[in-house]
Amino acid sequence: MSKCAACGKFVSPADIIKCSSCANIYDRICLKLSKSYKVSPKWLCPGCTSKQPRKDNTETSIKVQTERSQSSSSNSSPSSCCGCDATSKMIEELRTEIVAMRNEFVNFGIKFDRLYLAVSDLSKRVDGIKNRVANLEKDECME
């Protein structure tokens, strides 16, 4: 008997689902798949699916999990889904990165505003100096 890569429990041969890329074995319970669901021979586990570039692939297990979680109400919380842990962690990391990027944009905006004010102030000073030089030149010409 083989162990499930998600939960570490032994999997009966009837419930084995094997990733076509990394050859990890999963059970239907962790993937929340019914026994009637036919698994594609090209099926990829959540870990391998997350490493692939995004494309319109309706055969991925992630889309099936999303449809299943919306259509069926289960008593288990999302954190108890063994196959979803990696995906949840990745989503949380992305959220953290997006928040950090937003904060950086706010900081850039503040710095840009300060820079704009400094340039405006310097421009006014240069204009004042130009006027003073022009006045001095007029005074010299009159003498």
Query: Does an H or E element contain 41, and which?
Result: none
Q: How many domains does the chain have?
A: 1
Is it the case that residue 128 has pLDDT exceeding 80? yes
* CATH number of residue 104's parent domain: 3.30.40.10
Over the stretch 55-71, which tens digit does the pLDDT of each residue have?
A: 665 565 554 444 444 44
43: domain range? 2-142
- For the stretch 100-113, pLDDT in tens is 999 999 999 999 99
